[in-house]
Amino acid sequence: MSQLQARFFTENKKYAIDDVPFSIPAASEVADLSNVINKLLEARIADHKHVEFDFLVRGQFLRSSLASHMDTENISTEEVVEIEYVQKFTAPQPEECIMHDDWISSVEADSEWILTGSYDKTARIWSLEGKAVMTMAGHTDVVKDVAWVKRDGLSSLLLTASLDQTVLLWEWNSEQNKVKARHCCRGHAGSVDTIVVDPSRTKLCFISLAELKCLKTVFSLSVPTEEEDEVEEPNRPRKKQKTEQLGLTRTPLMTLSGHNEAVSAVLWTDAEELCSASWDHTIRLWDVETGEQKSMLTGSKVFNCISYSPLCRRLASGSTDRHVRLWDPRSKDGSLVLLSLTSHTGWVTAVRWSPSNQHQLVSGSFDNIVKLWDIRSCKAPLYDLAAHEDRVLCADWTDSGLILSGGADNKLYTYRYSAYVSDAGA
Amino acid sequence: EDLSGFSRICSPQRGKLDKTAGTSSIEIMDVELGYSLQPVSLIALLPHAHFLLHSLSPSSCLAMCSQDIRNTVGNIPMEWYKDYPHIGYDLDGKKIFKPIRTKDELDEFLDKMENPDYWRTVHNKMTGTDLRLSDEQVDLVHRLQQGKFGDVNFNEYEPAIDFFSSEVMIHPVTNRPEDKRSFIPSLIEKEKVGKLVHAIKMGWIKPRRPKETAPKYYDLWAQEDLNTVLGRHKMHIPAPKMRLPGHEESYNPPPEYLLTEEEKLAWEQQDPEDRRVSFLPQKYSCLRAVPAFSRFIHERFERCLDLYLCPRQRKMRVNVNPEDLIPKLPKPKDLQPFPTTQSLVYRGHTSLVRSISVSPSGQWLVSGSDDCTVRFWEVSTARCLKTVEVSGAVKSVAWSPNPAVCLVAISYGETIVLLNPGLGDKFICSATDQLISSYEEPEESKEQSVQWTIAEGSDHEHGQRLILKHPKAVRQVTWHGKGDYLACVMPDDNSSLQVVIHQVSKRRTQNPFRKSKGMVQCVSFHPIRPYFFVATQRYVRVYNLIKQELTKKLMANCKWISSMAVHPGGDNVICGSYDCRLAWFDLDLSTKPYKMLRHHKKALRGVAYHKHYPLFASGSDDGSVIVCHGMVYNDLLQNPLIVPVKVLKGHTITHDLGVLDVAFHPSQPWVFSSGADGTVRLFT
The answer, for A303 touching chain B at a CB cutoff of 8 Å, is: no
pLDDT digits (tens, 9 = 90+) for B497-523: 888 888 888 888 888 887 778 888 889
8 A C-beta contact, residue B651 and residue B606? no
- Selected for mutation to probe chain A from B432, B436, B667 (highest A CB count within 10 Å) is B667
Nearest CA in chain A to B434: A218
| Domain membership flag for residue A235 | no
Cα–Cα nearest to A25, from A15, A35, A16 = A35
Chain A residues whose beta carbon lies within 8 Å of the beta carbon of residue B361: 190, 210, 212, 262
Nearest CA in chain A to B364: A210
ipTM of the complex: 0.79
Do A315 and A256 share a domain, yes or no?
yes
Nearest CA in chain B to A391: B381
Tell which of A38, A65, A87 closes a domain: A87
The continuous run of DSSP H or E covering A422 comes out as helix A421-425
8 A C-beta contact, residue A107 and residue A395? yes
Please state, in angstroms and rounded to a whole number, the distance separating the CA atoms of residues A364 and A344.
9
- Nearest-neighbour CA in chain B from A376: distance (Å): 29
Please state, in angstroms and rounded to a whole number, the distance separating the CA atoms of residues B662 and B204.
88
Tell which of A56, A71, A87 closes a domain: A87
8 A C-beta contact, residue B379 and residue B407? no
Residues 102-121 of A with CB under 8 A from B: 103, 119
String of b and e for B282-314 (b: at least 16 CB within 10 Å)? eeeeeeeeeeeeeeeeeeeeeeeeeeeeeeeee
Report the residue from A165, A218, A393 with minimal CB separation from B432. Answer: A218
Tell me how many domains chain A contains: 2
CB-CB under 8 Å, B362 with A218: no
Nearest CA in chain B to A142: B385
Nearest CA in chain A to B424: A190
Chain B residues whose beta carbon lies within 8 Å of the beta carbon of residue A321: 684
Can you give the pTM of this predicted structure? 0.65
Give the CA count within 13 Å in the CB-facing half-sphere of B266. 9
Low-confidence ranges of chain B (pLDDT < 70): 1-69, 102, 226, 228-235, 443-447
Do A277 and A214 share a domain, yes or no?
yes
Do A197 and A337 share a domain, yes or no?
yes
- The contacts of residue B276 (CB under 8 Å, 6+ apart) are none
Residues 38-67 of A with CB under 8 A from B: none
8 A C-beta contact, residue B485 and residue B499? no
Identify any residues that bridge with B536 across adjacent strands, giving them in sequence order.
B520
Chain A residues whose beta carbon lies within 8 Å of the beta carbon of residue B362: 210, 261-262
| Domain membership flag for residue A258 | yes
| CATH number for the domain that contains residue A78 | 3.10.20.90
Report the residue from A209, A215, A217 with minimal CB separation from B380. Answer: A209
Identify any residues that bridge with B106 across adjacent strands, giving them in sequence order.
none
| Domain membership flag for residue A177 | yes
Q: How far is CA B650 from the centre of its chain?
A: 57
- The contacts of residue B381 (CB under 8 Å, 6+ apart) are A103, A391, A393, A408, B344
| Domain membership flag for residue A310 | yes
Nearest CA in chain B to A394: B381
The continuous run of DSSP H or E covering B137 comes out as helix B135-145
Please state, in angstroms and rounded to a whole number, the distance separating the CA atoms of residues A227 and A211.
6
Report the residue from A211, A219, A346 with minimal CB separation from B343. Answer: A346
Please state, in angstroms and rounded to a whole number, the distance separating the CA atoms of residues B243 and B535.
78
Report the residue from B337, B344, B404 with minimal CB separation from A214. Answer: B404
Report the residue from A163, A212, A279 with minimal CB separation from B668. Answer: A279
Report the residue from A189, A366, A393 with minimal CB separation from B425. Answer: A189
Tell which of A45, A60, A87 closes a domain: A87
Do A289 and A398 share a domain, yes or no?
yes
- Selected for mutation to probe chain A from B335, B379, B426 (highest A CB count within 10 Å) is B426
Do A27 and A46 share a domain, yes or no?
yes
Which pLDDT score is estimated for A244? 35
CB-CB under 8 Å, A300 with B337: yes
Chain B residues whose beta carbon lies within 8 Å of the beta carbon of residue A210: 361-363, 424
Report the residue from B385, B403, B684 with minimal CB separation from A320. Answer: B684
Please state, in angstroms and rounded to a whole number, the distance separating the CA atoms of residues B215 and B218.
7
- pLDDT tens for chain A, 426 residues long, are 577 778 887 777 777 777 778 788 877 778 888 888 888 887 777 777 777 788 888 777 877 777 787 777 777 777 778 888 887 777 788 887 888 888 888 888 887 888 888 888 888 888 887 788 888 888 888 888 888 877 777 778 788 888 877 777 788 887 777 887 777 777 666 677 777 777 666 666 655 544 433 222 222 222 222 233 334 334 333 333 333 333 456 666 677 777 777 778 888 877 777 888 888 888 888 887 777 778 888 888 888 888 888 888 888 888 888 888 888 877 666 556 677 888 888 888 889 888 888 888 888 888 888 888 888 877 778 888 888 888 888 888 887 788 888 888 888 888 888 755 444 333
Please state, in angstroms and rounded to a whole number, the distance separating the CA atoms of residues B591 and B586.
8
8 A C-beta contact, residue B664 and residue B630? no
- Nearest-neighbour CA in chain A from B405: distance (Å): 6
Please state, in angstroms and rounded to a whole number, the distance separating the CA atoms of residues A388 and A398.
20
Do A328 and A216 share a domain, yes or no?
yes
Do A281 and A132 share a domain, yes or no?
yes
Please state, in angstroms and rounded to a whole number, the distance separating the CA atoms of residues B540 and B256.
88
Do A164 and A20 share a domain, yes or no?
no
Nearest CA in chain B to A193: B380
- Nearest-neighbour CA in chain B from A260: distance (Å): 10
Which pLDDT score is estimated for B288? 92
8 A C-beta contact, residue A233 and residue A259? no
Long-range contacts of B477-480 (CB under 8 A, 24+ apart): B477/B396, B477/B397, B477/B398, B477/B409, B477/B410, B477/B411, B477/B416, B478/B396, B478/B398, B478/B522, B478/B523, B478/B524, B478/B525, B479/B398, B479/B399, B479/B400, B479/B401, B479/B409, B479/B525, B480/B401, B480/B525
8 A C-beta contact, residue A16 and residue A10? yes
Cα–Cα nearest to B658, from B673, B670, B669 = B673
- Selected for mutation to probe chain A from B381, B437, B665 (highest A CB count within 10 Å) is B381
CB-CB under 8 Å, A262 with B362: yes
| Domain membership flag for residue A231 | no
Domain that holds residue A9: 3-87
Do A208 and A278 share a domain, yes or no?
yes
8 A C-beta contact, residue B420 and residue B409? no
The answer, for A165 touching chain B at a CB cutoff of 8 Å, is: yes
Give the CA count within 13 Å in the CB-facing half-sphere of A246. 6
Please state, in angstroms and rounded to a whole number, the distance separating the CA atoms of residues B679 and B103.
163
Alpha-carbon Rg of chain B, whole angstroms? 68
**What size, in residues, is chain A?**
426
| Domain membership flag for residue A181 | yes
CB-CB under 8 Å, A408 with B381: yes
CB-CB under 8 Å, A347 with B343: yes
| CATH number for the domain that contains residue A273 | 2.130.10.10
| Domain membership flag for residue A293 | yes
The answer, for A398 touching chain B at a CB cutoff of 8 Å, is: no
Please state, in angstroms and rounded to a whole number, the distance separating the CA atoms of residues A55 and A58.
10
Do A83 and A97 share a domain, yes or no?
no
CB-CB under 8 Å, B404 with A219: yes
Secondary structure E strands in A174-253: 178-185, 192-197, 204-208, 228-232, 248-250
- Nearest-neighbour CA in chain A from B403: distance (Å): 7
Please state, in angstroms and rounded to a whole number, the distance separating the CA atoms of residues B290 and B298.
19
User: Count of CB contacts below 8 A, A vs B?
Assistant: 83
Report the residue from A210, A302, A320 with minimal CB separation from B363. Answer: A210
- Nearest-neighbour CA in chain A from B337: distance (Å): 9
| Domain membership flag for residue A228 | no
Report the residue from A163, A210, A216 with minimal CB separation from B361. Answer: A210
Report the residue from A218, A219, A393 with minimal CB separation from B381. Answer: A393
Chain B residues whose beta carbon lies within 8 Å of the beta carbon of residue A346: 343
Do A218 and A77 share a domain, yes or no?
no
Please state, in angstroms and rounded to a whole number, the distance separating the CA atoms of residues A378 and A373.
8
Do A59 and A182 share a domain, yes or no?
no
DSSP result, B174-206 = --PPPPGGGTSPPHHHHHHHHHHHHHHHHTSS-
Chain A residues whose beta carbon lies within 8 Å of the beta carbon of residue B482: 221
Cα–Cα nearest to B524, from B460, B556, B479 = B479
- Nearest-neighbour CA in chain B from A295: distance (Å): 23
SS3 string, B61-107, reads HHHHHHHCCCCCCCCCCHHHHCCCCEEEECCCCCEEECCCCCCCHHH
Chain A residues whose beta carbon lies within 8 Å of the beta carbon of residue B344: 347, 366
